[in-house]
Structure formats: structure tokens, C-alpha cells
Amino acid sequence: MIIPRRDAQTRSKLLRTLCLCVSVVIIPASFAQQFTCKDGKCERVLNGVAPATSRLRINAHGPVTLVGGVSQNLSFTVKVTVSARNEEEARRLLLPYVVRVQSDGAWTVLSAPGGAIMTDVTVRAPALEAAVVSTSDGAVQAVGISGPLNVDTGAGAIAVDRIGGDCELITGGGRIDAGQIGGSLKCSTGAGPIAVSTVRGSAILTTDGGDILAHEAGAMVRAETRGGGVHIGTAGGPVTAVTGGGEIVVEKAGGVVTLRNMAGPVQVGSAAGVRCEASGAIRVAQIAGPMRVATSMGSILANLIGSHLADSYLATGNGDITVVIPSNVGVTIQAENGLADTLKRITSDFAAVQPRRQGTRVVASGAINGGGPLLQISGSGGTIFIKRQ
């Protein structure tokens, strides 16, 4: 097109208008490959190909599958479905349906509108530096995005893998599965479990009900469920885990572990410190920092093998407390048991720490292996065991 000579402002406006006019590609119903009806539902399949930029946004009204790095162009299949009284009515609703592919700066935007029509979108794309998937309802799968990914669905499962950047996954209800994530990860579901394989950065995982499993994270992990277990394999930074009921397990954390369990056991294999409130049994080991551990009901086992303690505190309202101390860990013990029916409410393998009565309590204190950080132990309704490794 030849643009006639005009003033600079008019020519600039005309150029912007031309750019906008060619930014939209409409894939009409004539691209349909199939039209079928069964059990009161009719569907039509639309296929299309369009040029793509390195960033893709998908807006849909149903399930979405996105695979990146597998095609030179943007190719897509959209199955549209509608419930109708008869085939004639279904054709009337489906024939005008269009899929829009629009260029918006660095982004390609594919829109499959909904309303009375449900969509099922499958997209095969070239290498993508970023992707956003938004759907009102339906499961979402996304694989092979070299940069960040954002997924938001009103309800449905989410499964992603081989994501090179930060990843944010939100569903109103459904399971979330995340494979390899090259950046940080943020997951939220209204109801359902969350399972994570590997996250290079931090991980924030939240569900209103369901188990949370994270095998490996390179930085901080925060996991919260109203009801369900939490299992963290390895975290490069601190870990915070909260559950309304279920087991919490943290195998190894590079920072301080902070746990709250309203009804269930807790286990920490290795951490730079522990802060724990629970209603259930607690087991901790290899803690390189302070311990503040309390349970309203349940036993506590603290194995100091491999530990480098700071001043610490262990307490239970009803249960036993067992502390295992190896020969290379120096600690100063200050123990008391509110149940004083017998001196055997505190038993010690160390001559320097032996029980005695003090009013209505049984107490024991002293330095073990030359002394060290203060370890306070408080029990009631059980027995305190101070054992030599």
C-alpha cells in the first residue's frame, strides 16, 4: 500500500490504524473438520494455524493443553460443545463461532470465547519465552515453556512440566502436579492435593484440603493445608508447614523449620533450627540451631546426633520425652516433670543429671559432656528419658 504525502501527524495515525487492522486473525467455523451430536450435546472441531511470537496468552472456556517448543507455527485445535434440544438448534449456535488470534505487541493472544459454548483447546507452539493460560473452567496441562508460566482456572486439575522460569498455578478446585520448574513456584487450589517434583527457587503451596508433597526445592518452602499431610523432601532454605490435621515430615532443610499441626505427628530429619507447635508425636534429629518444640498431647523424641544446638526447649502436656545425647555433644540439662508420683518420672544415663523431688515436681539438672547450650525439658503425664548414645 502506498501512503500519500500528508503531514507527519496524519501519517502516524494512519500507520497505527493499519497495524491494528492486521493484528487480528479470525478462524471462522468454515475451518471445522467435524460436526457430531450425541445425547443432547453437539460438538464441532476447528483447526487453525497462525504465526506466533515468543509469548502466548490463551483465554478459554474449558480444558486447555499447551505444548511448547514443538512447532514452527502456532497450530491449534478447538473442540466446541453445546447442549441443545436438537441438531438444528446446535448448528445455529455453533456455526457463527470463531476463534480469534490477535497480536498484542510481543504477545500472541488466542481467544476461544465461551458463554453457552464449552471449549477444549489444544495448542502446539514454537519455543515460548512466556505463557499465560486463563480458563473459566477445566483442566490445564502445559509443557515445555522456557520462561515464566501463569495458569488460572475456575476449577480443574493443573499439570505442568519443564517450565524454565517462575510459575504460578491457581485453580478453584482440583489437583496440582508440577514437574521440573526452573524458577520459583506458587500453587493455590480450593481443594485437592499438590505434588511437586523439582523447583529451583522457592515454593509456596496452599490448598484448602489435600496432601502436599514437595520432593526438592532450591530455596524457601511454605506449605499450608486445612486438612492433609505435608511432606517436604529437601529444601535449600527455611520451611514453614501448617496443617489442620495430618502428618508433617521435613526430611532436610537448609534453614529454620517452623511447623504447626493441629492434629497429627511431626518429623524433622535435619534443619538449622526447629519451631514446632503440635497435637501429636514429634521426632527431631540433626538440628543445627535452637529447638522450640511443644505438643499438647504426644511424645517427643529428640536425637542430638549430628546436632549443633543453641538454647532449646522441649515440652509436652501428656506424653514421654526422650533425648538421645552422643558423646560429642555438650549440653546443659534442666528438666522437670509435673507428675511427681515417683522419681522414675525422670530417668538419666548420666551421673551428673539425676532426678530429685522439688515440691510437687521431679527435677534434674546438670552439665553433660562438659556442658553447653541450655536444654530445658518440661513434661507432664509421662516420663522424661535422658539417654546416652
Cβ atoms of residues 260 and 239 within 8 Å: no
- The whole-angstrom separation of Cα 97 and Cα 389 is 74
Q: Calculate the alpha carbon distances from 349 to 17, 173, 324, 325, 335 in Å.
A: 87, 53, 10, 10, 14
- The whole-angstrom separation of Cα 131 and Cα 118 is 22
Q: What is the pLDDT along the chain (389 residues), one digit of tens a residue?
A: 333 434 444 444 433 333 333 344 444 433 444 567 776 678 888 899 988 789 999 999 999 999 999 998 999 999 998 887 777 777 777 777 889 999 998 999 999 987 788 899 999 999 999 999 999 999 999 999 999 999 999 999 999 999 999 999 999 999 999 999 999 999 999 999 999 999 999 999 999 999 999 999 999 999 999 999 999 999 999 999 999 999 999 999 999 999 999 999 999 999 999 999 999 999 999 999 999 999 999 999 999 988 888 999 999 999 999 999 999 999 999 999 998 899 999 999 999 999 999 989 999 999 999 999 999 999 998 999 999 99
Buried/exposed code over 274-297 (b: 16+ C-beta within 10 A; e: otherwise) = bbbbbbbbbbbbebebbbbbbbee
- The whole-angstrom separation of Cα 246 and Cα 280 is 10
What was the pLDDT predicted at 34? 57
- The whole-angstrom separation of Cα 40 and Cα 281 is 55
Checking DSSP bridges between strand 203-207 and strand 257-261, what pairing results, if any?
A: unpaired
DSSP secondary structure, 243-271, as one string: ESSS-EEEEEESS-EEEEESSB-EEESSB
What was the pLDDT predicted at 205? 98
Cβ atoms of residues 127 and 145 within 8 Å: no
What was the pLDDT predicted at 142? 98
Angle at CA of residue 335, ends 333 and 337, nearest 5°:
170
Q: Calculate the alpha carbon distances from 9 to 2, 4, 14, 198 in Å.
A: 17, 13, 9, 54
- For the chain, the structural domain boundaries read 23-132
CA torsion, ordered 72, 73, 77, 78, to nearest 10 deg: 150
Backbone angles phi, psi at 344, to 5 degrees: -70, 0
Element (H, E) at 350: none
What was the pLDDT predicted at 35? 64
What was the pLDDT predicted at 12? 41
- The whole-angstrom separation of Cα 357 and Cα 359 is 6
Number of other CB atoms surrounding residue 310 within 10 Å: 15
Burial of 344 (C-beta count, 10 Å sphere; 0-12/13-18/19+) = exposed
Q: How far is CA 191 from the centre of its chain?
A: 13
DSSP secondary structure, 267-307, as one string: EESSBS-EEEEEBS-EEEE-B-S-EEEEESSS-EEEE-TT-
Cβ atoms of residues 57 and 110 within 8 Å: yes
What was the pLDDT predicted at 347? 97
